[in-house]
Amino acid sequence: MTRTHRIAVIAGDGIGQEVVPEGVRALEAAAEAYGFELRTTEFDYASADYYLKHGTMLPDGWFEQLSAYDAIFFGAVGWPEVVPDHVSLWGSLIQFRRHFDQYVNLRPVKLLEGMKSPLAGRSPGDVDFYVVRENTEGEYSSIGGKMFEGTDRETVIQETVMTRTGVDRVLTYAFELAQRRPRRHLTSATKSNGISITMPYWDERVEEMGRRYPEVDVDKFHIDILAANFVLHPDWFDVVVGSNLFGDILSDLGPACTGTIGIAPSANINPERRFPSLFEPVHGSAPDIAGRGIANPVGQIWSAALMLEHLGEREAAAGIQRAFEKVLAGSPREVLTPDLGGDGSTQSLGKAVADGILAGA
Ligand code: NAI
Ligand code: MG
């Protein structure tokens, strides 16, 4: 029996329309090279065009429709000239993350050969870690309110929510990941000196969980010095886990330390697989370069590798990773996109990676 994976493909706006086909090209090459079947279905919603036609970002039945897929392969959403960003984002991506309980946000941070790090003196191999962000609770809660608006007593409150279920499940994911990595090292982001109720609780759960994973070496830093250490000592990290807010900041800072935003991938994961997980590049729709065929497709292609890993296609995921790393490290100018210093196109780079996947299997 061939393994079959059903993928919902949503390109969205702007360069999403350009990089998603290159991601699909890589997936198809991997399917051919590693012997599995891919069934993709494209959806036109979660885009400004759809909004203009229908007045909403998503159709009524989106939840049932997308629930039938093994994963969602997503481009980017947002076209601020047409739809305000909070409407497009809350009307689509955030609905997916919440309703599909994608409580892990995972971002690899890896300095690749051929990429220029903004950190002086760092070379490939020095930076290779994961940021695991809690994606559903914590500081991003809707508990709170506003009182005495417009008066001197104007008061605003927003509460942080941490539940044992919510904290333990993201920690479990992070510990399991650390356990599988050669260095078996987990770093927790905290701020228990200043935030004196929720953060000591977070620390307590990390300690408790650490006892269940005796092979994993655990340390913790307050978020302020941790941010500094991402820049000063990126080689110290292997798996870094944080609450929603801390993870949000670290998961942008990490990839920023490794070069262009055009190559950074991310995964929004429901580890129990009750719902489909969603894989997308870190970047947005890039209206400034959209329609010109020069967007870097590697963030989308790397997201495809994360998706295959999640679907149990380890070898194919590694094959995609090897292929784009090799292409980034050693391709002529005419293959590479302008953000990499080349004068090639989205398609020339995407095609080079797909050829590499087929050749490397
Ligand atoms: P952006 O990531 O779209 O662009 C930031 C800068 O990076 C731009 O100069 C762009 O040209 C460049 N860039 C981005 N991706 C690139 C690629 N693949 N190759 C080469 N250069 C690339 O962020 P921005 O401008 O803040 O947002 C634009 C729109 O995208 C907004 O509507 C925003 O809400 C949306 N957005 C959506 C995200 C998502 O769908 N997850 C994430 C971030 C932004
Ligand atoms: Mg962010």
The closest alpha carbon to 279, from 103, 71, 101, 135, belongs to: 71
Q: Is the minimum distance from the CB of 265 to ligand 1 under 6 angstroms?
A: no
pLDDT tens readout for residues 30-88 = 999 999 999 999 999 999 999 999 999 999 999 999 999 999 999 999 999 999 999 99
Write out pLDDT tens, residues 238-263: 999 999 999 999 988 999 999 888 99
Give dist(CA 198, CA 160) in Å, integer: 8
Catalytic residue of the set 49, 203, 235, 252 = 252
199 contacts 190 by C-beta, under 8 angstroms:
yes
Ligand 1 proximity of 261 Cβ (cutoff 6 Å): yes
**Are 216 and 185 spatial neighbours (Cβ–Cβ below 8 Å)?**
yes
pLDDT for 213 equals 98
State how far the alpha carbon of 73 is from the alpha carbons of 103, 257, 263, in Å: 17, 25, 16
- From ligand 1's centre to the CA of 90, what distance in Å? 17
Is 191 a catalytic site residue? yes
**Where do the domains of the chain lie?**
1-108+260-361
Q: Cβ(162) to ligand 1 under 6 A?
A: no
0.90 exceeded by the pTM?
A: yes
Query: What's domain 1-108+260-361's superfamily in CATH?
Result: Isopropylmalate Dehydrogenase (3.40.718.10)
With beta carbons less than 8 A apart as the criterion, state whether 356 and 348 touch: no
